[in-house]
Structure 1
Amino acid sequence: MPGVPSNKSCERCKKRHLKCDEGRPQCQRCIGAGVECPGYVQTRKFIDQGASVRRRYAPYQEPSAKSGDARNISHPHTAKAHSPAPEKEAPLVTSVQDQVQPQLPSPPSIVEAQPVARPNVPLWNNPPLGMPVLPQPPSSISSRSASMHGNDQAGYGSVQQPPSSASPSQSNEQEEFRDIFSELMTGTEHEMSFLVRYYADYLAAWLDLSDTGNFFSAYVPVRALDEDFLRDAIAALSAKHLAKMKGVTAANISGMFTSPPTMETYPNAQQVDWSLKAANYYYLAVSHMNSSISDYASVSSTAALESPIAIANQWLSLQLSQMERTPDKTLNEAVFKKAENLLTASTILTLYKILDEPGENWQSYLTGIKPLFSQILRLIGESDESSAHFFPGITAVFWNFARLDYQASYYNRLPTHLDPEDLVLWRAAGLSLDDKGNASSISSTHLFSREDTATNVLTRLLNKLTNFLAASKRSQLEHWVGRPSESPTSGTANAPSPSLEPTTATWLKLSFEFQSWVERMPETFRPCLRLERPKSVSSDAPPMPFPEIFYSLTSCASAMQQYHFGRLALSLNRPVDEVSGPATACDRLQGYRELTKEVDHRCREICGVALGRPRGAARVQMITLLYAVGQCLEKTEERHIVVDLLRGIEADLGWSTAMQVQKLKR
């Protein structure tokens, strides 16, 4: 099982649950990390070593809080003095709150924990019992902060570790104990509640950008009560994001006079190995996805490492084959709900994968989305349901993949997985298209508001645009080598559509579609606030070179940024027209000047929306756009602003932008 160290690993690899090459005198993982390998001491002790350990720590035990109120332990006035209890066997935990009360002590040595496998029952209502109570720490090692904005009562998230004069070995033991305590929390009612609440509060809005029905925010956490793989997928994404944010949450500063609820806090959150927990939950999610589509009680570890999209495709293939064997069978609502849940988990786990991946790698994680939706269309066609539209959850999944698809295509200049000319597919996703593929209207429907519809129409346009860019790159390669190149995608399922060949006619058609979109957009796509030359009132610094632009709706802010990005890409990639192109040097010079003005305008608008700092759902979508803008800017100040905006997204939201920053600096 991933994360389980071998008995011969070095001490550092064991503690971090990494595979060790057992090199002597130092393993390659330690050399690569630039740290000294601690060696291969094999001695290990268990957490509960019996009476000797309890005798050693009994004099230091702090009075326990009243059972049933986990937060009382943080209040210094609720404790009462007690003499050490006589030696007896460690009591069993009777509630999840009892598990999280003790502070983290420093026992002599701790055994490494294995990834925790959990039963296939809702753990929120069935917390594990029988876990030994962890001993209380010496007061000199750990203390609790008792103030938060003037309030005596601090939540779990406020636990601080003061400087200690402990020896290096004692510090290692403390860290090791924190690791084992953290692993014992895996899958508990408190931890799962904390991670699902974190997803609902911070991450789900990213996936509901063009869905005012809020499927990922409102429905997915409820469905996670009944689906193990959905619950584990949520936990994996939340844990990975917490790892990127160093365990810091906004729970302790969200209220002026109230302390956060228990489900919003986690003991010693900033010391927890969230990366390990994330990997554990990801493995469990994929394992449960596999077992849910298999007739066998368990699946192999190899099968558990399959792509979530591939697992969903396998299940859909199985349903279609059953339909072919029994033509009279009617698919019921449960089948489509299962399809929604599998596709939802695939979306969340794909986001888990790309969160810290460079943009060039995103496209590989989307492999399989075209057959995924093709099989969904076949499944709908074989049922008694209307074939006009996907179900709401599948529709929400589709638009998330469509946005990722065009952004991944832009980085690699490769065709998108989803063909923008497949009208049946895009109509099923909710667009109203005529026979030529033009959006016949931008209006509200039973699934979408006008803002949702406009945003989704633009997403399809951007997919068409990036396919046009991919075809332009292929055409340039053919021109350089003097013959048609063998494109890595030529003849494949996601080869570019012939209607998007890099000709002047295609370019003009795309430009007309973008102009038509902006002329028909709802009035909410106009900014409600705009500062042309923002200047700090607290310093003598000169005004900013870009405006600050604010939209009242997050989806509108994101859509307008993407619109300007599309117009920028079109301006920079107009094909050379030998017939109607500029005939003289003066004509060419005038064309260059007009192009420069157009590029400057689009860059100002994109940066202006970014400087207005919309909500996180819009900021995570602008990484690709800011990267494109950064390649067009020449002034040092403007370049610094774009770099700061990219770094701010990583610092505030956890999305990796280091690759884009490095490329812009080069």
Structure 2
Amino acid sequence: MPGVPSNKACERCKKRHMKDQCDETRPHCQRCTGAGVECPGYVQTRKFIDQGASVRRRYAPYQEVHSRAGTPVNDAHMGEEHEPDSTQNEMQAEPPHEATLTSTDDLEMAEEASGMGLMQNQFFITKPPEPPHAPEIHRVPGHGSHESSRATLQNSVSPNVTTGFSPNFEHSYSHSKRPVPRDRPDYERLISSESVSHRSEKEEFQDIFSELMTGTEHEVAFLVRNFAQVIAPWLDVSDMGKFFSVLVPIRAINCNALKYSIAALSAKQLGRVKGAKSSAGGGMFTSPATTEVYPNSAQVDWYLKAANYYYLAASDLNNSTSDGYTLVSSSAVLDSPIDLVGRWLKKQSPQSIGQSSIDGALLKKAEDMLANITLLTLYKLLDAKGEEWHMHLSGIHSLFDSLLRIHHKGSTPFSHGIRASFWNFVRQDYLGSYFTRSETHFDPQNLPLWRAAGIKIDEQDKLRALDSGSSSLPLEDQAANGLSWLVSKVINFLAKSKQSQIAQWTGSPPSNLSGSPGSPSGTSERSYPNTNTWLDLCFEFQNWFEGVPETFRPCVRIDHPRDLSKPDGGQLPFPEIFFSLATCAATMQHYHFGRVALLLNRPQDTVSAPSTAFDRLQGYREVTKEVEYRSREVCGIALGRPQGEVRVYMVPLLFAVGQCLESADERKIIVDLLRGVEADLGWATDFAVQSLQSSWSR
């Protein structure tokens, strides 16, 4: 075990080359005593098995004790550095110093405590230990000499810890498939053994201590709480019932796949913000709770932890969707979570779901699986470029088609959990499709699906007026979800317009303009991107706006705010708008975004178009004026610094309106808003900034 004293002769016998004749009697050697010579004593150091002096030198300064969250930690000793090897060899004959013994004892206590935590929570991935007495290792991207020390130390502290994986699977994902973090410069260059030796001992031990905490009760609690407070509201932006904020963390207690999915997404988000947590809602004078604090959070390799938890979640989800006799393989874990759950749903009988009195457990399992794939999909979208979002949602339409098939026939809507997951995928679907100008995965003409999701659509393909008496959903949820359906129709209108333009350029007849492959027959004329379709969409948006409740009005609005950061206090180019409800703020932003998309993509009408050049110019001026107004509204809501669940979904919106702005001050504000989203919440925005700057420079 680590920390065992080494059996060596006293210093005098070693110098006289009589180590074998030293009886090693403590505190003084009998041979020295019998010769009448003062025994110099023994070197009271401790070593780690298979690591020797390098680990002792690396970890001796550790004295950090985290007894209570918010308690100040004395880092004085943690910043001290040991003497080089040559100096240590010269001083080996001297009696041991009390400070060294104290720090070594503190290290042993910390390791034993971490080891007990790992024994109680046996689920983390470790790298296979290096062979004993290995030479110095030159670090390569993703693998380092201090990381091999982690694995050896973990096996020494807790040799009986298991991961639930087969040996081949564990070796595959903890070693050869290890992800390379993007924001960690250590992973981007080769570091020689000489430069590793000069690395701060404090940072070295923090790395080891962090990995020892993987899977412990404290770490899981910390990650779950970060999810519930920071990330889950993103997924509940149109759900007043707060399925992801309230029910999902509770269900994760008895569902390992959900627990690991939460931990993976939460760890990745912390990696994106470099371990910083949002202070919104935190106390000003009270100490944080233990579950709100993680030691050395800024130095933790959150990306490695996120990858470990992700593969645990994927493997557990694979087990849940299999027949129970299939072993987990690497290829199964690499399958898309959407495909895994989709195949499981296809196996269910039409009577399996919807009869809560008989098959309530199966319905709950379906909800948990959909929540799982929602979290794992968000895990991938968090740092993906906008053009990649559409690809990550592949297969989602067939999954919900299978769910609709086995759903109870009639007017009964989806359950709360299924509905909450569906609307998250809808938002991601049309926002991702906007970047690629492709049709959405969910077909807006598949009316039974949208009705089952809780919105009221009549037989003329129009939204019904909001009614608090005919639906169990709050009016705000009905309005937000209804607008998501309308924006999906707009995005499909843009995709079909693009197809029509390509067909005209190439001289080929337009194909598949009636919708996606599963669209109902007879919708070609309605869906064809002509002026009538465009006008219908404009009227639908206007009718929606006139029917929303008063909660969709902002409670704070300054049309000409002053820039208080400057001495002259000049006016900002945009208003500042704030809504009490995050649902209403996000919905109004997306409403103005949909209107801008329609204004900029009006089809040409050779019959009723203005006949003179002046008329056409006047029409362009009106369009420009309205586009400017709605772009200012989108930016004004963003400048009001709304809740996180509003900000993470406004990246495509700011990207869209940013292309319409010409002033340098306005463009700078757009860039600052986008970079603020990534800095505060971890959602990738750099791709949008670079694309905008490239278009502005043309």
Name the TM tier (shorter chain). 0.7 to 0.9
1:374–1:260 CA distance, 2 compared to 1 (3 A):
same
Return the match for 1:390 from 389, 414, 418.
414
For 1:554, give the aligned amino acid. Answer: A
For 1:210, give the aligned amino acid. Answer: S
For 2:517, give the aligned amino acid. Answer: T
> Equivalent residue for 1:105?
none
> Equivalent residue for 2:479?
454
48-57 or 467-476, which deviates more:
48-57
Cα pair 1:450 1:522 within 8 Å, conserved: yes
1:255–1:479 CA distance, 2 compared to 1 (3 A):
same
Matches within 5 A, 1:173-184: 175-184=203-212
> Equivalent residue for 1:288?
316
Q: Are 2:136 and 1:111 equivalent residues in the alignment?
A: no
- Report how far residue 234 of structure 1 moved: 0.5
86-95 or 368-377, which deviates more:
86-95
1:489–1:338 CA distance, 2 compared to 1 (3 A):
farther
TM-score by length of 1: 0.77
Cα pair 1:532 1:547 within 8 Å, conserved: yes
Structure 1: 5+ residue stretches without partners: 1-45, 101-107, 121-165
TM-score by length of 2: 0.73
55-64 or 166-175, which deviates more:
55-64
Q: Are 2:373 and 1:359 equivalent residues in the alignment?
A: no
Please give the alpha-carbon distance, in whole angstroms, between the structure 2 residues aligned to 1:489 and 1:350.
29
Please give the alpha-carbon distance, in whole angstroms, between the structure 1 residues aligned to 2:509 and 2:592.
33
SS of the residue corresponding to residue 319 of structure 1 reads: coil
> Equivalent residue for 1:506?
533
- Report how far residue 435 of structure 1 moved: 1.1
> Equivalent residue for 2:448?
424
For 1:111, give the aligned amino acid. Answer: S
1:589–1:57 CA distance, 2 compared to 1 (3 A):
closer
Q: Residues 397-451 of structure 1: CA distance to partner in whole angstroms, max 9, x if unpaired?
A: 0000011111111111111111111111011000111111212221336542111
Cα pair 1:504 1:577 within 8 Å, conserved: yes
1:47–1:649 CA distance, 2 compared to 1 (3 A):
farther
Return the match for 1:260 from 281, 288, 312.
288
- Report how far residue 58 of structure 1 moved: 10
Cα pair 1:70 1:97 within 8 Å, conserved: no
* Bigger radius of gyration: 2
Please give the alpha-carbon distance, in whole angstroms, between the structure 2 residues aligned to 1:441 and 1:252.
36
Please give the alpha-carbon distance, in whole angstroms, between the structure 2 residues aligned to 1:491 and 1:426.
15
Please give the alpha-carbon distance, in whole angstroms, between the structure 1 residues aligned to 2:288 and 2:392.
37
Cα pair 2:443 2:515 within 8 Å, conserved: no
SS of the residue corresponding to residue 471 of structure 1 reads: helix
Matches within 5 A, 1:249-328: 249-250=277-278, 254-294=282-322, 295-296=324-325, 298-320=327-349
> Equivalent residue for 2:157?
none
Please give the alpha-carbon distance, in whole angstroms, between the structure 2 residues aligned to 1:452 and 1:70.
38
> Equivalent residue for 2:372?
345
Cα pair 2:562 2:571 within 8 Å, conserved: yes
Matches within 5 A, 1:407-418: 407-418=431-442
> Equivalent residue for 1:216?
244
> Equivalent residue for 2:73?
74
Return the match for 2:404 from 354, 357, 377.
377
Please give the alpha-carbon distance, in whole angstroms, between the structure 2 residues aligned to 1:587 and 1:488.
31
Return the match for 1:643 from 666, 671, 692.
671
Cα pair 2:276 2:298 within 8 Å, conserved: yes
Q: Are 2:235 and 1:198 equivalent residues in the alignment?
A: no
> Equivalent residue for 1:406?
430
> Equivalent residue for 1:623?
651
SS of the residue corresponding to residue 543 of structure 1 reads: coil
Please give the alpha-carbon distance, in whole angstroms, between the structure 2 residues aligned to 1:196 and 1:561.
30
- Report how far residue 86 of structure 1 moved: 13
Q: Residues 495-530 of structure 1: CA distance to partner in whole angstroms, max 9, x if unpaired?
A: 996332111110111000000000001001111111
Please give the alpha-carbon distance, in whole angstroms, between the structure 2 residues aligned to 1:199 and 1:536.
34
Return the match for 2:462 from 414, 421, 438.
438
Cα pair 1:571 1:599 within 8 Å, conserved: yes
Matches within 5 A, 1:470-489: 470-484=495-509
Please give the alpha-carbon distance, in whole angstroms, between the structure 1 residues aligned to 2:625 and 2:64.
71
SS of the residue corresponding to residue 171 of structure 1 reads: coil
Please give the alpha-carbon distance, in whole angstroms, between the structure 2 residues aligned to 1:248 and 1:87.
31
SS of the residue corresponding to residue 674 of structure 2 reads: helix
- Report how far residue 320 of structure 1 moved: 3.0
Cα pair 1:647 1:657 within 8 Å, conserved: yes
CA RMSD of aligned residues (A): 3.5
Please give the alpha-carbon distance, in whole angstroms, between the structure 1 residues aligned to 2:297 and 2:549.
44
Structure 2: 5+ residue stretches without partners: 1-46, 77-97, 119-144, 155-160, 166-193
Give % identity: 49
Q: Residues 592-631 of structure 1: CA distance to partner in whole angstroms, max 9, x if unpaired?
A: 1111111111111111111111111001111111111011
SS of the residue corresponding to residue 549 of structure 1 reads: strand
Count of residue pairs the alignment pairs up: 559
Please give the alpha-carbon distance, in whole angstroms, between the structure 1 residues aligned to 2:432 and 2:440.
8
1:525–1:491 CA distance, 2 compared to 1 (3 A):
closer
1:542–1:290 CA distance, 2 compared to 1 (3 A):
same
> Equivalent residue for 1:152?
none
